[in-house]
Amino acid sequence: MTDPHHTTFRNLLSLIRAAEPRVDTDLVTLAYETARQAHAGQKRISGEDYIVHPLNVAIYLAQLHYIDTSTIIAGLLHDVIEDTSYTIETLRKDFGDEIADIVMGVTVLEKLKYRGVERYLENLRKMFVAMAKDLRVIFIKFADRIDNLKTLHVWPHDKQLRIAQETVEIYAPIANRLGMGKIRGELEDLAFPYIDPDAYTWTKNLLLSIAPKREKYLDDVKDIMKKTMEKEKIKPVDIHGRAKHLFSLYRKLLRYDKDISRIYDIITMRVIVKNLADCYATMGIIHQRWRPLKGRIKDYIANPKPNGYQSLHTTVFCEKGEILEFQIRTKKMHEEAEFGVAAHWQYKERGEDGGDSATAKIDLDWIRELTRWHKRIHENEEQLQKMKLDVFQNRIFIFTPNGEIIDLPEDATPIDFAYHIHTEVGNHCTSAMVNDRLVPLDTKLKSGDIVEIITDKKRKTPSSDWLQFVKTTTARAHIKNQVKVHIVDWLKNIVPGEDKETKLRR
């Protein structure tokens, strides 16, 4: 019988060969045939043959250009263990341990469904265990979720809402932490219509109302930039305009009372250049021609964001007095900004990384720490909320006086910062300097703040009052532990020789 999806599969092979010309595609073909036969007769709720879904997942991964062939094969096979009679033992025999382990990791993630707090927390713990073992499982899960979101309109309303909420509360923030900006934007924008349909329609129409005029304006600025850079003998790799993702734009509009005139990066101009020197030279060219706005120059190359993002940002009074943001970066920085650790892996495979990539320095200890933490916590609503605060909310980056970057959740305080540095720094903290100014310990920090903690060894224990405003689980746990130790020591000194229970009764 003729395979109606053969053409789609041939397109997948073409994408793989384009990224890796010497790759042996026989194993890819075997994976497709295995998946096609295993899913034979199965249909998606949309009515399509089920094989369309793993094919779409594999094609999405291949289009990223940075994903290795083993991950693409695992993408084709990611549902066979969960949804068919094909066993993990057979998969391991046919495709080897590496691909089998990735598929098993994805199978664990497939069970992540909200069915009450206890099961939700346990599934989240399993997800972090799988990620800590091999990050490729989350790449497949991103592709899987994106394809499912594209057909979410055929599902019942309650399932639409659950999947959309999981997407924006869990998967999009994880993509952000991994530096995968393109995937984060796709996940959020596909979920947005189901999270808040009215807000989605309003934001979309607002963007559409300004887009045509803005695109013409950007074309004019692009021509000016090209000519100006040519005069300075700098050849850009690419210059293009980029519209802000809808969900990201909506969240920013909420912070500015829905006043779009106060947002300067709705559509930005990206200038991609060959090397680091050209980045700073291009910044100089822009500032020579247009006056920059005070406080709107950001050097994320010298000081990358915690997820590895590197770029120069500047906002200027551009042509006709319009305010426009420019983002300047190398091709490598651009690819890592879009695809994060996936792009870094590909550079490493090619031997091009050189060890200086910001993405190469992404600290994945937060995944391992979450894994350990979830083994200890009591499974209840309070812990779920704390976990969301620590991991799934927006992040800020704070500097130590020596220039080290500390990654913290939004609204974190100097106490959170102190405990992130070291337990003893937090325990003995007496005051804090933020940007060379003495501030209260409950001050909410902002990205870019430089924080110095002042300690006093005479301080024996942290204040229990700190529990009212700290944001991180680490700080909260250390404070509670120290307060408990202090109480026990105090009890020992009340009546020496009595056991603790007697003292407590007294």
Q: Comparing C-alpha atoms, which of 70, 76, 78 is closest to residue 107?
A: 78
The DSSP output letter for 392 is: I
Which structure tokens are listed for 291?
């006056």
Measured CA to CA in angstroms, residue 364 lies from 178, 259, 309, 357, 472 at distances of 9, 37, 15, 15, 17
**Closest to 251 measured CA to CA, from 328, 309, 188:** 188
28: which residues sit within 8 A by CB, 6+ positions away? 12, 13, 16, 69, 72, 73, 76
Catalytic residue chosen out of the listed positions 83, 169, 410, 452: 83
* 363, 407 contact by CB (below 8 A): yes
Which candidate, 248, 345, 353, 358, places its Cα nearest to that of 306? 358
Closest CA to 336 of 178, 215, 198, 200: 178
Q: Exposed, middle or buried: residue 100 (CB in 10 Å: 0-12, 13-18, 19+)? A: buried
Choosing from 82, 98, 122, 196, the catalytic residue is 82
Structural tokens at position 263:
């947002």
CB of 338 within 8 A of CB of 330?
Answer: no
Q: How far apart are CA 308 and CA 340, in angstroms?
A: 7
What is the number of residues in the chain?
506
Residue 408 and residue 471 in contact, taking contact as beta carbons nearer than 8 Å: yes
Amino acid at 271: V
Which backbone phi and psi does 199 adopt, to 5 degrees?
-65, -40
Give CA–CA dist 363/453, Å, rounded: 23
Residue 319 carries which DSSP code?
G
110 as an active site residue: the answer is no
Written as one letter, the residue type at 202 is: W
3-class secondary structure, 20: coil
Per the CB < 8 A criterion, the answer to whether 184 and 176 are in contact is yes
> Is 199 within 8 Å of 250 (Cβ atoms)?
yes
Q: How many CB atoms lie within 10 A of CB 70?
A: 16
Cβ neighbours for 202, distance < 8 A, ≥ 6 positions apart: none
Report which secondary-structure segment, H or E, holds 194. Answer: helix 181-195
Catalytic status, residue 82: yes
Q: Which residues are catalytic?
A: 82-83
